[in-house]
Structure 1
Amino acid sequence: MTELLSAALTGITLGLAAGMAPGPLMTLAITQTVRHGLREGLLVAAAPLVTDIPIVLLLFFVLRELPGQVLGVLGMVGAFYALFLAYETARAESLGDAASASAPASLRRGALANFLSPHPYLFWITVGVPYVLAAHQKSVLAPWGFIVGFYLLLVGSKAAVAALAGRYRNLLTGRVYPYLMRGLALALVIFAILLFREGLNLLTGAER
């Protein structure tokens, strides 16, 4: 029981830190909430529940040491996808503009942003997989405590931010809306640059 509680607390701490970290997924959750409502922001927040399952299974059973080149390419592709999201966000002039003609596809957007980021891979390679394997040696339930605690706070913290944006959604529309969207677009551009640089470092570092 002690091992389970300890693993759960570790997962909660790491999940909160990862969930509150600024990045494309957090920015996208806010953007979709403001543009299309809280439900869409919550779908973005839930994206790791969709994308991380194949990532974790891949690392556990196939590639526990994913080559740096693969992570680098993923990061660079993710950077271009973040730029695409920034372009769409910057175009919006009114609530629901640009994307209103079609479904918001928030879960798909969030899943793509998360899947193309090297961060989930790096986390599970460097922290997640080693911790789960070590915890399993002490208790069969401990790994589940870690995983549940981690994703509860990872998704929950992003959902809380989306809910906060939804609560004040009306204040963020009107004349403020275009400026808010351009600010979020700028944030996405910055994250795209950081992702590209990180991917390039992983790619060049692995080739040395």
Structure 2
Amino acid sequence: MFNLLIAGITLGLYSGLSPGPLLILLISQTLKHGHREGIKVAFSPLITDLPIIAVSIIFLSFVAGYSSILGIISILGGLFLLYMAYESFKTRELTEDIEAEEPKSLKKGATVNFLNPAPYLFWITVGGPLIINAYTGSILAPLMFIIGFYVLLVGSKIVLAFAAGKSREFITGKPYLYIMRILGIVLVLFAIYFFNQGVHLLIK
């Protein structure tokens, strides 16, 4: 049981700190609207992952190698990332007007996470098997893994949101615009990766 808790903590910390579309969205929303909106993005996996975990366990129970659904989701994720990149490229300077816009951070975070194939791949190949193997009549061991995973996943992203928020007051004018353009370029690169992965999954 302790080993499962350590595994959950380790994997959760890695997932929280590793570069990806959700982390970029967290930084972008924090720079635009403050650390509270970044924290909302940090909590978005708690909304989307429960059905992902359930579906993954069902897949493990009944399906041996089904990749077409992941391919479609990956392509949809790529399209959404391109839309996010477009928003980053058209960003204006940080002003009162931008602050007044409705951020919809939780909705954006949930959409990014749900359309990201990474959580599906993780729970099908790593998390799901760990939960199934740990379940021996008691739910406590799998629960320890899940709690450790999400405390570190969400917690590390909250720390990053606070860190990005601290420097928000220094990001004005062109430096802010440059950061948003860079984020847009990275999002395009992620979109290309998603499209490539989606095609490979569909023809696999």
TM-score by length of 2: 0.92
Query: Are 2:70 and 1:56 equivalent residues in the alignment?
Result: no
Instruction: Report SS of the residue matched to 1:93.
Output: coil
Cα deviation, 1:174-197, whole Å, max 9, x if unaligned, reads: 331110110111111111111111
Equivalent-residue separation in structure 2 for 1:134 and 1:51 (angstroms): 23
Q: CA deviation at 1:118?
A: 0.7
Residue 91 of structure 1 corresponds to: 90
Q: Is the 8 A contact 1:36 1:96 kept in 2?
A: no
Unmatched tracts of structure 2, length 5 or more: none
Equivalent-residue separation in structure 2 for 1:96 and 1:44 (angstroms): 21
Query: Are 2:21 and 1:21 equivalent residues in the alignment?
Result: no
Q: Greater CA deviation, 22-31 or 162-171?
A: 162-171
Identity of aligned residues (%): 46
Cα deviation, 1:72-119, whole Å, max 9, x if unaligned, reads: 010011011001001101111212688656411000001000000111
Q: Is the 8 A contact 1:10 1:146 kept in 2?
A: yes
Q: Greater CA deviation, 131-140 or 85-94?
A: 131-140
Q: Is the 8 A contact 1:25 1:114 kept in 2?
A: yes
Q: 1:75 to 1:189 in 2, by over 3 A?
A: same
Equivalent-residue separation in structure 2 for 1:51 and 1:151 (angstroms): 12
Residue 160 of structure 2 corresponds to: 161
Query: When the two structures are aligned, how many residues end up with a matched partner?
Result: 201
Unmatched tracts of structure 1, length 5 or more: none
Q: CA RMSD in A?
A: 1.8
Equivalent-residue separation in structure 2 for 1:196 and 1:59 (angstroms): 22
Q: Is the 8 A contact 1:88 1:98 kept in 2?
A: no
Residue 116 of structure 1 corresponds to: 115
Cα deviation, 1:125-164, whole Å, max 9, x if unaligned, reads: 1111110111112853110110001111111112211111
Q: CA deviation at 1:43?
A: 0.6
Q: Is the 8 A contact 1:16 1:154 kept in 2?
A: yes
Q: Is the 8 A contact 2:59 2:124 kept in 1?
A: no
Q: How does 1:65-104 map to 2 (within 5 A)?
A: 65=63, 67-95=66-94, 102-104=101-103
Equivalent-residue separation in structure 2 for 1:46 and 1:90 (angstroms): 26
TM-score by length of 1: 0.91
Q: CA deviation at 1:14?
A: 0.6
Equivalent-residue separation in structure 2 for 1:130 and 1:99 (angstroms): 44
Q: Is the 8 A contact 2:34 2:165 kept in 1?
A: yes
Out of 30, 35, 40, which is 1:33 matched to?
A: 30
